[in-house]
Amino acid sequence: MLRLGIMGGTFDPIHYGHLVAAEMARTEFALDKVLFIPNGVSPHKMRREITDAQTRYRMVEMAIRDNPEFTISRIEIERTGPSYAVDTLKELRQLYPHHALYFITGMDALQEIFDWHKAKEILELTEFIAATRPGYESRDFLLKIASEYPQFLPKIHLLEVPALAISSTDIRQRVARGQSIRYLLPKEAYTYILTAKLYLPQADCE
């Protein structure tokens, strides 16, 4: 059976941690390709200002251009309302009837799955590859899965990704403080952030 990696995230901005995680997942889980899906309106992010979807999409597009195994989808940014993973997975199930689905995302995000819309249905539709930062303690999360959804435990795979020491939050904060973000993300995305004056404090954007 073919295997599709689904790289879901806000990607505000995409960075080398995401790219290394996707590539490690692709090779270690024998994925035929990895589909990056920048989310539109994240269900859990109503508080922070998120960069508009088209801009985040552009940065992902630039960052993955040189990898023929990576591709990008507008499936979530074109849907109105919150980007529920269950809707995306159902759509992908139709589009890729012969693929096993592997949803790749950060463990920090996945550990909130108990609050995600239709969590049980999600776990029926896909396997998960949870990318962790070095030293991440996943025992409590796995115990909770084992107690609430024991049948799904074999569908959750952990992947330690040292490059995830890089984070989007840190990149945004560095830009706001006037610090360098060079080498934390692909050059095209880096240049785009500087040119479009993303992540600057409001007064500096005017």
d(CA 132, CA 50): 23
CB of 23 to ligand NAP, least distance (A): 11
Coil, helix or strand for 175?
helix
Among positions 169, 180, 195, 202, the unique one binding ligand NAP when judged by CB under 6 A: 169
Q: Are the beta carbons of 60 and 22 closer than 8 angstroms? A: no
Phi, psi dihedrals of residue 179, rounded to the nearest 5°? -90, 160
Told to check if 51 binds ligand NAP by CB under 6 A, we report no
Query: Of 83, 93, 174, which Cα lies nearest the Cα of 126?
Result: 93
Told to check if 111 binds ligand NAP by CB under 6 A, we report no
Q: Are the beta carbons of 5 and 34 closer than 8 angstroms? A: yes
d(CA 195, CA 57): 16
Told to check if 168 binds ligand NAP by CB under 6 A, we report yes
Contacts of residue 147, defined as CB under 8 A and 6 or more positions apart, other chains included, come to none
Among positions 65, 74, 93, 117, the unique one binding ligand NAP when judged by CB under 6 A: 117
Q: 204 exposed, middle or buried (CB, 10 Å; 0-12, 13-18, 19+)?
A: exposed
Which CB sits closer to ligand NAP, 40 or 99? Answer: 40
Told to check if 142 binds ligand NAP by CB under 6 A, we report no
Told to check if 158 binds ligand NAP by CB under 6 A, we report no
Among positions 4, 19, 21, 53, the unique one binding ligand NAP when judged by CB under 6 A: 21
Told to check if 85 binds ligand NAP by CB under 6 A, we report yes
Among positions 101, 105, 127, 199, the unique one binding ligand NAP when judged by CB under 6 A: 105
Told to check if 167 binds ligand NAP by CB under 6 A, we report yes
CB of 52 to ligand NAP, least distance (A): 15
In DSSP notation, 2-18 reads EEEEEEEE--TT--HHH
Told to check if 18 binds ligand NAP by CB under 6 A, we report yes
Note the residues at the interface with ligand NAP (CB under 6 A): 7-10, 17-18, 21, 39, 42-45, 83-85, 104-106, 108-109, 112, 116-117, 131, 164, 167-169
